[in-house]
Amino acid sequence: MIAQPRDGAQTLLKCLEAGGIEIMFGYSGGAALPIFDALETAGTNIKFVLSRHEQGATHMADGYARATGKPAAVLVTSGPGAGNTITGIMTAHMDSIPMIVISGQQVTWMLGKDAFQEADIFGITMPIVKHSYLVKDSNDIPRITKEAIYLATTGRPGPVLIDIPKNISQGDCTAPLDCEIDLPGYHPETAYQVESRDIETVIEMLQKSERPLILAGHGAMLAHAGPELKELAETCRIPVCSTLLGKGIFDETHELSLGMLGMHGTAYANKAVCETDLMINIGSRFDDRIIGQADKFCKNAKIIHVDIDPSEMDKMIKPDLKIVGDAKVVLAELNKWIRPLETKNWLATLDGYKKRFPLNYKIQGGLKMQHILDVVDRLTESNAVITTDVGQHQMWSAQFNKSKAPWNWISSGGAGTMGFGFPAAIGAQMGRPDDVVIAVVGDGGFQMTLCELATAVLQKVPIKILVLNNHFLGMVRQWQELFFENRTSGVDLEGNPDFVKLAESYGAKGFQIKRPADIEKVLTKALEYNEGPCLINCEVVKEDNVFPMIPAGAALEDMIIEKPKHRMEKPVGST
């Protein structure tokens, strides 16, 4: 049989499909024309979703990947199209999210000549991708596409960019679709071998420990290590705290769960970190949000660090035992040797902290974000997929959402990207059409990507956009109140639109919550509404602060449970 002649663009789509890509988010433009044409001619089943801004497309692909564990692709044009993906690529890179970003590019003979819509996106994105390609030959497309998907999804996942000049996507490709990858410098398979001596050392350390603590990070999630983690915690009776991105890898309603640790984590999780004698970190990169002042972190504890990425070892914290490996494989091997530990006293101490320092809020005094998020958690029985932006709403959502299962908590952790939550929810809902997806956003972040209301309406995704509207950039205002003598600067979001009318003008359903008494009634209605996206504008109190709080760069033991009466020193950490 003679193969149909195909061009580079058709080859690209066929190879993406063969590599498991089912969905592509993007925005068209001149240099990507051949690829957009191939969406019509290549005969693949890849679904294309037109966003309203390239940043939104990247966050949609990101949300899809975080909700399903499968990578999605992003397709944009050259120059500004590619430039608009930067925030989305950076967000995915910081949180180790697989993503294939395809950008159109000027024809090869115009590269470097400041041609129309030419930007060196290969160079611009270099520090924020796992790897990237500038394709110079149509026949390289099958190999490069296969390598890109392999790189994005294996080892420590991450975004991979493929920049394709127009003459390359338009040119004939005669190379076979299936080809060998050529990556002599990439060996993720080594993460699946565990040294038995390391396991023996862990067992010895466990036996000597009276107050062990597991820290579950995003790496445990990405490795699908939930069952192994549960077995370790339950068999040895070890309490578990998680990072922001590790939320849900261990059921937060489980008696051994301490919830999230860190800057705005639970007091009992942070107290556990201060008092543990054995910190077992499974797939967290010891981010500055969780360790605070590095030299005081776990200073009386032995530290075990399990991570798939060797460059994470010694980066923030020098562990006593380093295990470079896939969390699932390491835990499965470890679980063959574990015995129950005597941790009754330790657990009793922590239970005491749970009772003494619970997460709480006052229902009186106006409409509170915490109250709304608490009711959301109750009405959804902690089973909804929650996406967030960054800020106060994110931290309160992390506190009051009791994630029971992995892949349900979708938040921009490392990058702290405003405008992430809403488009991420669209992507998440497209990957999980049968689940309840709620975008918890602030009025600031939502306005950064609200143009995607059109996308959400057209795709008929029944996401609930919970706009926690305090007419402020709340977290920055909180810092100004606590550390800058309440001099508010650049945080007043005067001029917010009427969000309900805005949603309605796009054809979405709008709800309003103005009083605590409305919360349950309106949320129930919103949760029942499934014909498309709906927006719930919540007029929350303007000035409220997230506690507990560890000022940036301070030690975990210096945690603040409530607003201090005295003036506080400016934090030494950056943000």
In 474-523 the beta strands, taken as DSSP E runs, fall at 509-513
Residue 160 Cα distances to 28, 153, 166, 218, 423, angstroms: 19, 10, 19, 19, 20
Residues 292-321 that bind other proteins (CB under 8 A): 309-311, 313-315
**Least distance between other proteins and beta carbon 312 (Å):** 8
Contact flag: residue 572 with other proteins (CB under 8 A): no
131 binds other proteins (CB under 8 A): yes
Q: Is 103 in the site for other proteins (CB under 8 A)?
A: no
Identify which of residues 98 and 259 has a Cβ nearer to other proteins in the complex: 98
CA separation, residue 541 to residues 14, 33, 513 (Å): 52, 48, 12
Quick check: 109 binds other proteins (CB under 8 A)?
no
List the interface residues with other proteins, window 314-373 (CB under 8 A): 314-315
Catalytic residue chosen out of the listed positions 54, 228, 333, 452: 54
Q: Which residues contact 192 (CB under 8 A, 6 or more apart)?
A: 325, 326, 329
CB nearer to other proteins: pick between 161 and 244: 161
Please report whether residue 30 would count as binding other proteins according to CB under 8 A: no
Min dist CB 301 to other proteins, Å, is: 21
- Smallest CA-to-CA distance from 440 within 526, 515, 506, 543 is with 526
The CA distance from 263 to 290, in Å, is 6
Residue 377 is inside which H or E element, if any? helix 369-379
- In this structure, what token pair is assigned to residue 123? 């160079």
Looking at the Cβ atoms of 146 and 247, the one nearer to other proteins is 146
Residue 117 falls in the annotated catalytic set? yes
Of the pair 310, 366, the CB lying nearest other proteins is at 310
Does the protein bind other proteins through residue 183 (CB under 8 A)? yes
Catalytic site residue from 14, 146, 166, 354? 166
Residue placing its CB nearer to other proteins in the complex, 174 or 311? 311
Check residue 190 for interaction with other proteins (CB under 8 A). Answer: no
Residue 180 annotated to the active site: no
Q: Kindly identify the residues of this chain, within the stretch 140-169, that bind other proteins according to CB under 8 A.
A: 151
Q: How many residues bind other proteins (CB under 8 A)?
A: 19
Work out the angle between the directed axes of helices 8-18 and 33-41 (0-180°, nearest 10). 60
Establish if 132 lies at the interface with other proteins (CB under 8 A): yes
Distance from C-alpha of 54 to C-alpha of 26, rounded to nearest angstrom:
6
> If we measure between CA atoms, which residue out of 221, 185, 186 comes closest to residue 326?
221
Question: Pick the catalytic residue: 47, 117, 514, 568?
Answer: 117
Specify the residue, 321 or 500, whose C-beta has the smaller distance to other proteins.
321
Shortest Å, Cβ 144 to other proteins: 12
Contacting range for other proteins; rule: CB under 8 A; set: 123-131, 331-339, 390-398, 507-515: 123-131
The least CB distance from residue 320 to other proteins, in Å, is 17
Q: Please tell me whether residue 130 binds other proteins under the rule CB under 8 A.
A: yes
Cα three-residue angle 84-47-249, rounded to 5 degrees: 75
| Identity of the residue, 132 or 243, whose beta carbon is nearer to other proteins in the bound complex | 132
Q: Which residue is it, tokens 């998020």?
A: 373
Verify binding: residue 112, other proteins, rule CB under 8 A.
no
* CA atoms lying within 13 Å on the CB side of residue 426: 31
Report the b/e string of 483-499 with b at 16+ CB within 10 A.
Answer: eeeeeeeebeeeebeeb
Q: Does 96 bind other proteins (CB under 8 A)?
A: no
Q: Is the distance from CB of 543 to CB of 458 less than 8 angstroms?
A: no
Closest separation in Å from C-beta 172 to other proteins: 23
| HSE-CB of 455 using CA atoms within 13 angstroms | 27
Cα gap 80→444, rounded to integer Å: 24
Other C-beta atoms closer than 10 Å to the C-beta of 254 total: 15
Residue pair 206/338 in contact (Cβ under 8 Å)? The answer is yes
Instruction: Please state, in angstroms and rounded to a whole number, the distance separating the CA atoms of residues 447 and 457.
Output: 17
CB contact at 8 A, 308 and 333:
no
Q: Which of 112, 127, 340, 490 binds other proteins (CB under 8 A)?
A: 127
Query: Does residue 116 have an active-site annotation?
Result: yes
Site membership for other proteins, residue 134 (CB under 8 A): yes
Catalytic residue (choose from 205, 263, 279, 475): 475
Residue 126, interface with other proteins (CB under 8 A)?
yes
Q: Does residue number 529 form part of the binding site for other proteins (CB under 8 A)?
A: no
521 has catalytic annotation:
no
CB-wise, 159 or 248, nearer to other proteins? 159
Which of residues 151 and 466 has its CB atom nearest to other proteins in the complex? 151
Q: By CB under 8 A, is residue 188 in contact with other proteins?
A: no
In single-letter form, the type of residue at position 423 comes to: P
Per CB under 8 A, does 184 bind other proteins? yes
How many Cα atoms sit within 13 Å of 542 on the Cβ side? 8
Closest approach of other proteins to the CB of residue 126, in Å: 6
Nearer to other proteins, 311 or 360 (CB): 311
Taking the complex as a whole, the smallest distance from the CB of residue 182 to other proteins amounts, in Å, to 9
Spatial strand order in the sheet of 302-307: 257-260, 240-242, 212-216, 278-282, 302-307, 321-324
CB of 177 to other proteins, least distance (A): 23
Q: In this structure, what DSSP letter does residue 458 have?
A: H
| Residues of the shown chain interacting with other proteins in the complex, contacts defined by CB under 8 A | 122-123, 126-127, 130-132, 134, 151, 183-186, 309-311, 313-315
Active site residues: 54, 116-117, 166, 475
